[in-house]
Amino acid sequence: MQKINEFLLFIDGYLGSHTWFIILLLGTGVFFTFYLKFPQIRYFKHAIRIVKGKYDKKSDVGDTSHFQALATALSGTVGTGNIAGVALAIHLGGPAALFWMLLTAFIGMTTKFVEVTLSHKYREKTPDGTISGGPMYYMKKRLNIKLPSGKTIKTGHILGMFFAGATILSSFGTGSLPQINSISNAMFSTFGINKIVTGGILAVLLAVVIIGGIKRIAKVTEKLVPAMAIIYFIGAFAVLAFNWENILPAIASVFSNIFSGSAATGGFLGASFAYVAQKGVGRGLFSNEAGQGSAPIAHAAARAHEPVSEGLVAILEPFIDTIIICSLTGLVLLSSGVWNKKMENQFQYADIEVLDNEYSDADVDDIHALFNHLNGSEKLETFTGSLEVENGEITNALTMLNARSIAEDVKVYVNEALYNGMIQIEEGRVQTELTELNFVGKSLMHSAPLTTEAFKRSFFGDWGQYIVSIGLLLFAFSTAISWSYYGSRAMTYLFGSKSIVYYRIVYVVAFFFAAFTDTTIIWSISLITIVLMTVPNLFGLIILRKEVKSSIKQYWVDFKEEHPEENIKLS
């Protein structure tokens, strides 16, 4: 499984983790931002009015209200990325990575506007009476190739099938399996609840919600999203109030090194500009999913007489998800000071790398060498051989990196007892069949554990960890709910409405087993499926750019006729 995972990561190195994908993603958003004259700024207030239902009509067709569609889409994007993803981005790239996340979100507001407008415009009514939409429908209807002979090649339908297939895979890789795995781990570490129990209870709740279809999903998410936001905000503001003197320096650190990379400080060994930008943009996409084509599936079900109006609602989504919630998480991490501090923790094998020499983060030359190694410009020699361990202590003269930092005070345990013996290392990676072999020591932390540590630095003290665990539970569970709907619409497109029941059964069963099974390989698969969804969607948006612009222009003409009292600038 480790070899398969390494192969998937190798493939992702040429896809989502490669520079071309970042250029395509940001480039598309930048193009539409200028092409449509910054709609995320010009129409922001109007979008809020639409969400409030100010312009609703009784004749509007759809399964959900504007707010319910927004809540459903938000529940799909507001998830582990907002708690763990921000912490991972800052861990990898330092404070400057948060800037690139925010920039991605700002540009993504326009991308969401465009993709939702098109998906809502070409949605369809299924035989069971529900509305089904998403990028696969506009692809099918608008991306076919017409030959000079008059013959039509159904390239759009092929692209639609490709997108739908990737959506189904991503519903497991992004929306289901890793989410419950994160929840069960958090519940076990914080409350001591058995992972099987957590999986069983939440699998039943998930089944009850998704069997009711989009209407029940919308009713749940419209209550769940505000509730989880309030709980998380209370905990976050408690941290900021407790560390108020660090807020301005934290904000300054985000913007001070955006074009030079993040310098080494504390246990953090620094990151190059390219690395910072790549990780910030990547985490930004994972957080708000702008351009991926997932949220348009939820928005397509909204009751609206104009596709553009629902597109305007979608502008709010990256703003709430990334610019507000992720910024809050980022400020919590930076102001609390935990992001570059080494703390006692149990190492994950994937984070461990053993170097064939001794290095110190107090030595300038060593820091420079480690900076180049971690950023991929000049790799250091890794260790291959046997670690000699006596009473839990490694006796070899070498350096162990964990979570991109030099590990200190490392102890090795087996079944909670100090280990004596040899541990095989191959090219810096631990190779062992001892399932209970654990490395414990001081190093940097990342993802949800880092956010948990930050929330402890508040007026709540250790109680802050419960806010993170509950927030992770609500955020991740709501993501699983929404992605079940995305997957079901993709199944409808490929196999018809009758196939949904079989998909839901598999979805719930897989959700249960993932609670107590390693999902590392699923995360790696999701990295690839995200790209497979995003690329055809972005190309489709660019191809249909003129249609989008004309639809927007006509929307404002019609709107001014219906609402002459509204002061809306059309240019």
Nearest one of 381, 360, 332 to 269, comparing CA atoms:
360
- Whether residue 240 has pLDDT greater than 70: yes
Judged against a pLDDT cut of 60, whether residue 570 lies above it is answered with: no
With a CB cutoff of 8 Å and minimum separation 6, the contacts of 362 are none
- Using alpha carbons, list the distances in angstroms from residue 102 to 204, 234, 347, 497: 36, 22, 30, 38
* pLDDT (mean) for 448-453: 88
Q: Please report where in the chains the tokens 């159904």 appear, as a residue.
A: 154
Q: Which of 62, 418, 431 is nearest to 215 (CA)?
A: 62
Of 501, 515, 458, 424, the C-alpha closest to 180 is 515
Q: Kindly list the structural domains of the chain, giving each domain's residue range(s) and its CATH number in brackets, ordered by start.
A: 2-341+455-543 (1.20.1740), 346-443 (no CATH)
Strand runs (DSSP E) across 333-407, as ranges? 343-346, 352-355, 385-390, 393-394, 399-402, 405-406
Residue pair 304/60 in contact (Cβ under 8 Å)? The answer is yes
Q: How confident is residue 571, by pLDDT bands cut at 50, 70 and 90?
A: very low
User: What is the mean pLDDT of the segment spanning 121-133?
Assistant: 88
Rg (CA), the chain: 24
Assess contact for 436 and 76: CB atoms under 8 A. no
The answer on pLDDT for 448 being more than 90 is no
Give the CA distances from residue 570 to residues 67, 434, 554, 559, in Å, rounded to whole numbers and listed in that order: 25, 67, 10, 10
Work out the end-to-end distance of the chain between its first and last CA atoms, rounded to an integer number of angstroms: 55
pLDDT > 70 fraction of the chain, expressed in percent and rounded? 98
Q: How does pLDDT run across 357-412, given as a tens digit for each residue?
A: 999 999 999 999 999 999 888 899 999 999 999 999 999 999 999 999 999 999 99
- The beta-strand segments (E) located in 466-540 are none
Q: What's the whole-number mean pLDDT along residues 318-330?
A: 90
Across the chain, mean pLDDT equals: 89
Residue bearing tokens 């969804």? 533
More confident residue, 308 or 176: 308
**Which H or E run includes 371?**
helix 364-374
How many C-beta neighbours within 10 Å does residue 266 have?
14
Asked if the model's pLDDT at residue 217 lies above 90, the reply is no
- Tell me: pLDDT of 17 over 90: no
Per-residue pLDDT of 152-173, as tens digits, reads 888 999 999 999 999 999 999 8
Whose tokens are 């570490």? That residue is 189
CA distance 151 to 133: 27
Task: Say whether pLDDT at 427 is over 50.
Answer: yes
Task: Pick 424 or 190 by higher pLDDT.
Answer: 424
At residue 151, the pLDDT reads 85
DSSP class of 435? T
Cα–Cα separations (whole angstroms), residue 14 to 10, 170, 256, 290: 7, 18, 30, 20
Confidence of residue 126 (pLDDT cuts 50, 70, 90): confident
Helix (H) / strand (E) containing 422: strand 421-426
Q: Does the pLDDT value for residue 488 go beyond 70?
A: yes
What does the alpha-carbon distance between residue 101 and residue 95 come to, in Å, rounded to a whole number? 11
Cα maximum dimension of the chain? 82
Report the range of poorest mean pLDDT among 46-55, 158-167, 513-522. Answer: 513-522
Q: At what angle do helices 213-242 and 327-336 cross, to 10 degrees?
A: 30
